[in-house]
């Protein structure tokens, strides 16, 4: 199961953050609460639903929502409060935003809260906030945003600062009158996978023949011996250890000589030029354009690749973080191959031809973000590369997991768990695979030419953090996103088509499990990129 390691600073020992929130809800005598479905990022006086968290700004509130739903059915809290469904919360924000021309800062406005309360029936709202770090947003450290040449992998070597080992969030509870009933702070441990999911690009390990070596980690660890092979550990806890030992400044992998993977955007068979802005690579994409993500593997070994667009996995089109992503929801890129991921796929392992929808840039009001009640644009394409243990694991000197017991205080256990264009057909082959150690991560940002011009001239939004995001649709602003799934033939599944309940009864609001309930054989093999 995908997980977050949120640690509540002010809680008593053994009390989870969700339990702390539930206790405050009950103490304030709130009967029905809603969780704002996006983290509100703050940079000075500016607020937005986008920022350096990338798509995690969506997944973290979902964790809070799902855990509160689970607690509301627990014996301790049963009958004391219910939780507004995510669908209803998104619809409420959308409706109130359209009627009252709200922006993000207005979510705490009593007038907006009263309107939200009337729409949802909630008498209290929980909001997560995050204070941005300017050095993470802008690699240059100054206001010089002029375009830098980016011919293939040649660049000026500018690097970005590594994130802190923890991300700190505020949790705020407000009633319909604007009175606060909860104000607290939580910390979430960063690991390699979540940093990649948030948009960080880095190389950790590299193949040289049949030897895997460390390239992005500090050379030694104060706890583990030189022969412990800690650099090759896999899984959540080893990724946490390795994130802490990443080099303090991260050179973009596309700038590193000899980086064996490549990620490009292809439109009409032509590779779209990459620009370097604020230490990140950007490609121009305009509304109506269809594109593919081209991935190249120049090593002698297969790699598993998780491909996300705006945090949504290209296989089965789910908003899920990479840590808990099953092996069969990855692509396999064979040695010496350059292949394309051309769109969204809902995979049926029994069929030779797989149906999907091409990636297409659409107007903002048609985007997936708009359907969620927020008219922002994350605009990220992320590829995370892993060792395929089924093919190459015997070459990797994996460390003994018992070494983790040597860490002072150990590693925090997960207190929050996360629950769960044009139509095309493609002949896709399947390959046996097992995900091993994380090798590298590459994120490309996509923006329209108008947005790129604004960034370069300093007259528009930042690349990652905007000056202002309207919650309501503003057609004068040319924001773009990817196209919603238009597939007509839905695969059979025992899971509900929506994770949203049709009522606010506790039982119907339970988050769905990550494990399929169907008795039919599932596809446990990833797909080959060709």
- Over 60: is that where the pLDDT of 377 sits? no
Sequence-ordered list of residues with C-beta below 8 angstroms from that of 271, at least 6 positions apart, any chain? 264, 265, 294
Q: Please say whether the beta carbons of 266 and 452 come within 8 A.
A: no
What SS3 state is found at 43? strand
Q: Which two tokens stand for residue 330?
A: 């990855």
Place 259 in a pLDDT band, splitting at 50, 70 and 90.
very high
Strands (DSSP E) contained in 141-277 are 159-161, 166-175, 180-189, 202-203, 205-208, 211-214, 249-251, 261-267, 270-271, 274-277
pLDDT (tens digit, 9 = 90+) per residue, 487-527? 222 333 343 343 443 444 444 444 443 333 433 334 445 55
The rounded mean pLDDT for the chain is 74
The whole-angstrom separation of Cα 527 and Cα 350 is 13
The whole-angstrom separation of Cα 424 and Cα 342 is 9
Q: Which residues of 322-354 are buried (b: 16+ CB within 10 A; e: fewer)?
A: bbbbbbbbbbbbbeebebebbbbbbbebeeeeb
The whole-angstrom separation of Cα 342 and Cα 330 is 14
Q: Which two tokens stand for residue 406?
A: 């040597």
H-only helix segments in 36-129: 56-72, 86-100, 110-120
Q: In terms of pLDDT, which residue wins out, 474 or 190?
A: 190
> Mean pLDDT, to the nearest integer, of 184-206?
92
pLDDT reported for residue 17: 84
Helices (H) and strands (E) in the chain, counts: 10, 31
pLDDT (tens digit, 9 = 90+) per residue, 437-494? 999 999 999 988 888 888 787 765 566 655 544 444 333 333 333 333 222 223 333 4
CA dihedral 365, 368, 370, 375 (to 10 degrees): -90
Percent of the chain exceeding pLDDT 90 equals 34
What SS3 state is found at 10? coil
Residue 200 backbone class (left: φ over 0; alpha: ψ -120 to 50; beta: rest)? beta
The whole-angstrom separation of Cα 528 and Cα 530 is 6
The whole-angstrom separation of Cα 441 and Cα 305 is 9
pLDDT (tens digit, 9 = 90+) per residue, 122-143? 999 999 999 987 655 554 333 3
Q: Please say whether the beta carbons of 212 and 242 come within 8 A.
A: no
The whole-angstrom separation of Cα 257 and Cα 95 is 50
> Mean pLDDT, to the nearest integer, of 397-404?
83
| Cα separations in angstroms, 297 against 167, 440, 470, 474 | 32, 12, 40, 41
> Mean pLDDT, to the nearest integer, of 111-117?
84
pLDDT reported for residue 317: 79
Q: Which of 70, 470, 530 is nearest to 333 (CA)?
A: 530
DSSP-derived secondary structure for 202-240: EE-EEEETTEEEESSB-S--SSS-TTS-GGG--SHHHHH
The whole-angstrom separation of Cα 42 and Cα 48 is 7
Residue 257 backbone class (left: φ over 0; alpha: ψ -120 to 50; beta: rest)? beta
The whole-angstrom separation of Cα 172 and Cα 114 is 17
The alpha carbon dihedral of 374, 9, 231, 326 has a sign of negative
* pTM score, whole prediction: 0.79
With residue 17 as reference, give the H or E element that holds it: helix 17-27
Residue 282 backbone class (left: φ over 0; alpha: ψ -120 to 50; beta: rest)? beta
The whole-angstrom separation of Cα 333 and Cα 92 is 42
């Amino acid at each position: 199961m995908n997980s977050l390691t949120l640690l509540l600073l002010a809680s008593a020992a053994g009390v989870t953050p969700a339990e702390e929130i539930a206790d405050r809800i009950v103490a304030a005598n709130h009967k029905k609460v809603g969780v704002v479905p996006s983290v509100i990022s703050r940079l000075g006086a500016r607020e937005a639903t986008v920022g350096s968290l990338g798509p995690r700004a969506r997944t973290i509130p979902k964790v809070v929502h799902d855990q509160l739903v689970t607690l509301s059915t627990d014996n301790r809290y049963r009958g004391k409060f219910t939780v507004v469904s995510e669908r209803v919360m998104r619809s409420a924000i959308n409706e109130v935003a359209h009627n009252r021309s709200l922006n993000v800062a207005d979510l705490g406005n009593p007038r907006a809260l009263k309107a939200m309360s009337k729409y949802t029936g909630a008498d209290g709202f929980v909001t997560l906030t995050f204070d941005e770090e300017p050095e993470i947003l802008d690699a240059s450290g100054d206001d010089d945003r002029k375009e830098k040449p980016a011919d293939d992998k040649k660049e000026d070597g500018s690097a970005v600062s590594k994130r802190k080992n923890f991300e700190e969030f505020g949790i705020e509870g407000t009633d319909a009158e604007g009175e606060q009933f909860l104000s607290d702070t939580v910390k979430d441990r960063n690991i390699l996978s979540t940093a990649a999911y948030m948009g960080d690009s880095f190389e950790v390990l590299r193949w040289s023949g049949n030897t895997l070596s460390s390239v992005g980690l500090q050379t030694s660890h104060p706890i583990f011996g030189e022969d412990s092979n800690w650099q090759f550990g896999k899984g959540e806890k080893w990724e946490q250890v390795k994130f802490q030992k990443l080099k303090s400044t991260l050179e973009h992998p596309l700038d590193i000589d000899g980086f064996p993977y490549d990620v490009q955007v292809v439109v009409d068979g032509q590779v779209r030029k990459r620009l370097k802005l604020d230490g990140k690579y950007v490609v121009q994409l305009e509304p109506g354009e269809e594109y593919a993500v081209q991935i190249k593997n120049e090593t002698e070994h297969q790699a598993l690749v998780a491909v996300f667009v705006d945090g949504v996995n290209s296989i089965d089109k789910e908003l899920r973080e990479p840590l808990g992503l099953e092996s069969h929801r990855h692509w396999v890129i064979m040695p010496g191959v350059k292949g394309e991921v051309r769109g969204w796929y809902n995979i049926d392992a029994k069929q030779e031809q797989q149906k999907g929808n091409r990636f297409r840039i659409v107007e903002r009001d048609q985007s997936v973000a708009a359907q969620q009640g927020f008219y922002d644009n994350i605009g990220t394409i992320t590829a995370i590369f892993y060792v395929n243990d089924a093919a190459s694991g015997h070459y990797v000197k994996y460390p003994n997991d018992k070494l983790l017991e040597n860490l002072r205080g150990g590693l925090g256990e997960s207190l929050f768990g996360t629950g769960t264009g044009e139509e095309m057909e493609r002949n896709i082959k399947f390959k046996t695979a097992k995900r091993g150690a994380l090798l590298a991560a590459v994120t490309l940002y996509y923006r329209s030419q108008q947005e790129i011009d604004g960034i370069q001239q300093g007259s528009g939004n930042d690349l990652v953090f905007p000056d202002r995001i309207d919650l309501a649709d503003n057609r004068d602003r040319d924001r773009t996103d990817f196209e919603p799934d238009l597939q007509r033939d839905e695969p059979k599944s025992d899971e509900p088509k929506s994770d949203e309940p049709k009522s606010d009864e506790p039982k119907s609001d339970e988050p769905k499990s990550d494990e399929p309930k169907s008795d039919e054989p599932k596809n446990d093999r990833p797909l080959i990129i060709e």
